[in-house]
Structure 1
Amino acid sequence: MTPPSPHRSLLDHLRGHVIGTYGLLALTALLFLYFSLTLPDTFPTRDNVSSILSNQSIPAVLALGATIPIAIGKFDLSIGYGLGLAHVVVMYLVVEAGRPWPLACLTVVVGGALVGALNGVVVEFARIDSLIATLGTGSIMYAFTGWLTDGSRIVPGPDGLPAGFTGLYDSRFLGLPVPAYYVLALTVALWVVLERLPLGRYFYVIGSNPRAAGMLGIPTRRYSVYAFAGSGLVVGCAGILLAAQQQIGNPSVGLDYLLPAFVGALLGSTTIRPGRVNAVGTLVAVTLLAVGLAGIGQLGADFWATPLFNGCTLLVAVGLAGYASRRRLRSGLTAAGRPDAGQPDTGPPNTGRPVAAPRNDGDGDGAAT
């Protein structure tokens, strides 16, 4: 049998790489084009684009928050409950306690980070699976939300909320809603952390192989707590944005955002950097979901079409994410067969320096000496 041409193999590899990296982005563009041709009077308009950017800003922020623990191979199911609690606390501090809104926002952001860190401690030091642990802590958050509001809504007085606070969501800049810029800024910040800083590289190493990360001297428990704290901080920001949008404190809101957040994060792991979650991929996935939901809504779909769309997309996202991870692993194994693949590793990928041998510091982690 004639072996395949090396040029053809290279072409197939490049084609597969391009499709895997940019396929979801191309699908988003095609979906937008389809709805624009189908609904030329309503869909490709500036008002509709602004509405999509504004309405999907909170799911996008929450999806970026969910991305951080997934990078270390954990899941934070408390983010939906945390979103509900954060927006209720903001409203309580501003309306009931009469605190200045900047102080209330700062309190919620710091509190979100602390609650996230507590999630990390429960997962890592109590040795409870992240799905179970965060489901339990999320239920506690929901109970605290009910206790704080007594099951009723927090409604502002006749004077309403401060204009500066509502402006966090209602303002516009260069003709576009300000929340779109929040999402873009958070995406850039998270991309820098995950792709350019040692912190993000350690997250990926831990998510790929926690045991190997410990042997390389990475304190896995500590960085896991950092990941959950980062997720909680982002959830706090999303809660502030939700309060500025809703302008009431509703104890039952929050869980509706949980599924879209995980769909965006998991689907995002199949693009840009296939096989691992990444900030830009999450943004692309959220954009695809936003375009799809807006299109089927304008086509007159029934109310059940949204959860059906989200559920089916989640299943597809999980399947594609698993396939991308297996393909990435196979590529690594293939590369290991090359003559230069037998060189020993001296540290985590792209750290630029060797890592000292681990020592036992009493908490089960490897720590560099």
Structure 2
Amino acid sequence: MTSPTVTPPKPDRDPSTTAFAAIDRGAPRFARLRGSLQQLLAFASLILIVVVFSFASPHFFTANNLVSILTAATVTGILALGTTFVIITGGIDLSIGTGMVLSGVMAGVFLTYLGWPLWAGVLATILFGGLIGLINGINVSVLGIPPFIATLGMMLIAAGLSLVISGTKPIYFNDTPEFQQIMNLSIIPGIRFPMGVAIFIVMIVIAAVLLSKTILGRYTFSIGSNEAATALSGVNVRRWKIIIYTLAGLFVGLAGVLSASRLSSAQPTGGMGLELEAIAAVVIGGTSLQGGKGSIIGTVIGALIMAVLTNGLRIISVPQEWQSVAVGIVILVAVYLDMLRRRRA
């Protein structure tokens, strides 16, 4: 007799019955508590650093300097917000620093060379950053290039294009003074509170909602936790990786706008090292370099720690070279603590 044909069951694409159920039912309660504890420890570290520098210098804990810290944290923080999504998937993006510089140069091209209206030039700059992220996503997801190599290549390409397009010279926004106000305009009468800081706060809220309340966030965590299981559950992992890298690129484009606005010019040199500060902020905030774990609030705390550390060392007159040493030590400690977390998990 011929055995009856058995039709294999179709993949269940309902997130409630696939790999996402593990996320929703979650890890054990103690794991969640451990994640909250790590954020509390990061926040406690931030408070401790603030207290130490407040005693070290009377000029540190002043309203003007605190606003300066927030302003300094804005660009790095926005880069870190987008990078959080990428790192949670288990990837990395080394091109965000030079990508930001190239986006700033393109803002100069759109607004100064081509004479576009402000809104069009800013929008085009942000979308250009998204294009950089899109290319990274295609290289990683479709071509299968390891994220480290793909984004390293993009980092060098962006650095070179910045010099080529600008002719190795800064592009000034003298003819568009309203562009300079995007970052520097104080939005509270009588108080110095730059618009750029308000934009940073808005982006924190948007990133937090995307990561915790949308399907994009659930796919981000699922891909980082178990990419193979996520693919078997019917999720188009390639497409969502492209979306996630593109989203990170949009944050890069916005950071390019704010950086160029703050300086009132697009500087084609620079940007190298910002990617390390952003990644350090993400890791300090509790996001694992192995993927599958992270939070926006943790990233914000990490960005503030980096900004406070740099600002405090400058105020107490620590030489620039030793500031770099201190930041490097913080990065090493953050990565080592991440390794310890993974071993104990």
Q: TM-score range by the shorter chain?
A: 0.7 to 0.9
Q: Give 1:181's aligned amino acid.
A: A
Q: Give 2:63's aligned amino acid.
A: R
Partner of 1:258: 275
Measure how far apart 1:56 and its partner are. 2.1
Measure how far apart 1:16 and its partner are. 6.0
Measure how far apart 1:115 and its partner are. 2.1
Match for 1:240 among 247, 257, 262?
257
Match for 2:176 among 159, 162, 173?
162
In 2, distance between residues paired with 1:304 and 1:71?
Answer: 32
In 1, distance between residues paired with 2:185 and 2:295?
Answer: 29
Matches for 1:118-197 after TM superposition, within 5 Å: 118-156=135-173, 160-174=174-188, 175=191, 176-197=193-214
In 1, distance between residues paired with 2:239 and 2:36?
Answer: 36
Go from structure 1 to structure 2 and tell me whether the alpha carbon gap of 1:16 and 1:247 turns closer, same or farther (over 3 Å shift). Answer: closer
Asked if 1:32 corresponds to 2:50, the answer is yes
Partner of 1:64: 81
In 2, distance between residues paired with 1:116 and 1:100?
Answer: 25
Secondary structure in 2 aligned to 1:56? helix
Q: RMSD of the alignment, in Å?
A: 2.1
Match for 1:224 among 241, 255, 261?
241
In 1, distance between residues paired with 2:61 and 2:243?
Answer: 41
Measure how far apart 1:234 and its partner are. 0.4
Q: Give 1:165's aligned amino acid.
A: F
Conservation of the 8 A alpha-carbon contact between 1:84 and 1:255? no
Conservation of the 8 A alpha-carbon contact between 1:53 and 1:177? no
What are structure 1's unaligned runs of at least 5 residues?
1-11, 330-369
Q: Give 1:207's aligned amino acid.
A: G
Partner of 1:94: 111
Conservation of the 8 A alpha-carbon contact between 2:224 and 2:293? no
Work out the number of aligned pairs and report it: 311
Partner of 2:15: none
In 1, distance between residues paired with 2:332 and 2:197?
Answer: 27
What are structure 2's unaligned runs of at least 5 residues?
1-29
Partner of 2:334: 317
Go from structure 1 to structure 2 and tell me whether the alpha carbon gap of 1:97 and 1:277 turns closer, same or farther (over 3 Å shift). Answer: same
Q: Give 1:36's aligned amino acid.
A: S
In 2, distance between residues paired with 1:224 and 1:257?
Answer: 23
Go from structure 1 to structure 2 and tell me whether the alpha carbon gap of 1:258 and 1:15 turns closer, same or farther (over 3 Å shift). Answer: closer
TM-score for both structures, normalised by structure 1: 0.79
Secondary structure in 2 aligned to 1:43? coil
Measure how far apart 1:142 and its partner are. 2.0
Secondary structure in 1 aligned to 2:168? coil
Asked if 1:212 corresponds to 2:226, the answer is no
Give the stretch that moved more between structures: 201-210 or 144-153.
144-153
Measure how far apart 1:161 and its partner are. 3.9
Q: Give 1:23's aligned amino acid.
A: L
Match for 2:100 among 49, 66, 83?
83
In 1, distance between residues paired with 2:195 and 2:115?
Answer: 26
In 2, distance between residues paired with 1:92 and 1:14?
Answer: 47
Conservation of the 8 A alpha-carbon contact between 1:63 and 1:264? yes
TM-score for both structures, normalised by structure 2: 0.85
Match for 2:294 among 277, 282, 298?
277
Go from structure 1 to structure 2 and tell me whether the alpha carbon gap of 1:264 and 1:21 turns closer, same or farther (over 3 Å shift). Answer: closer
Secondary structure in 1 aligned to 2:245? helix
Percentage of matched positions with identical amino acids: 28
